[in-house]
Amino acid sequence: MNVMVAGGAGYIGSHATKLLLDAGHKVVVVDNLYRGHRAAVDSRADFVEADLAQTDVLEQTLREYRVECVMHFAALAYVGESVTDPLDYYDKNTGGTVSMLQAMKAAGVKKMVFSSTCATYGEPDDVPIVETMGQSPVSPYGWSKLFVERVLIDYAVSDPEFAFTALRYFNVAGASSDGSIGEDHEPETHLIPVICEAVLGVREKIVVFGTDYDTPDGTCIRDYIHVEDLCGAHILAMEKMQPGQTNFYNLGIGRGYSVKDIIESVKRVTGREFTIEYGERRAGDPPMLYANSEKIQGELGWKPNYTDLDEIVRTAWNWIEKHPDGYGD
């Protein structure tokens, strides 16, 4: 299949591009390189440097590469930043997707796999989270993604041939199993790479925000899904999607690991110690968030290959140890 990967120079998009190519699909990556890395894009893929706001460029690219499906990862994704600059998040995440859909409509492209988020659920009363639970985000980032889900539903009503799958992620972690690409954010906020940077001395210490939560060890619990498992679900969703289908799936491994679990795993994998500081809780951090992913497993036959925490951390460490400066750009 001919696939456009929007945001394909980013962490998840670059891994999806690699796996798509490995599976025999043809890929054109579209990325404005604002937070992506040109070096992360597989050399087998074509590359177009463009912003989602450039509807005409998107349409031209869709036509030129005879794209059959758009895999849409392009977005701003810092919750705190979305609070201080909400307009930018609504503009880039929600408005950018509308621009992409306009280009797809003009070019006659009828399939999209959309990168959504568990942030659309807000702070649920129960875990594990299932797709039928209410959605009430607590940040502009979450709302910007939920608004896209609404736009996709409404557009699908207007065009019975249009199909989409929205995948609601939990905590994405790890790196390519062959060590060729990995995670490089500026700033880095994800727990596993943050701890690995402390191991390498790239940062002075890690700070654990809160040790008095109602969890077994007092720290927050989250669901960590390996990036290759996540991207494999995108490819499966694309390949199985039929005209007119509208799907929503959670993506997680179905169990949670605490902050202290992650710390101990990094110690085991690296064999090294690092400085840990214990601080106060952060506002808006629920004690536990993890997914029920039975729906995608039952309907698409997806299942995670990485369920052991040390295996997930080991792939992240394999990349970060060899690339302490990320992609070096």
The closest alpha carbon to 268, from 196, 208, 178, 201, belongs to 196
Tell me the C-alpha to C-alpha distance, in Å, between residue 272 and each of 2, 92, 168, 182.
45, 40, 34, 21
- Which residues have CB under 8 Å from 226's CB, separation 6+? 172, 173, 174, 304, 305, 306, 311, 312, 315
Q: Report the alpha-carbon distance of residue 231 to residue 200 in Å, rounded.
A: 28
Instruction: Give 131's DSSP letter.
Output: T
Rounded to whole angstroms, the Cα distance separating 94 from 146 reads: 9
> Which amino acid is located at 233 in the chain?
A
For the annotated catalytic residues, the residue numbers are 141
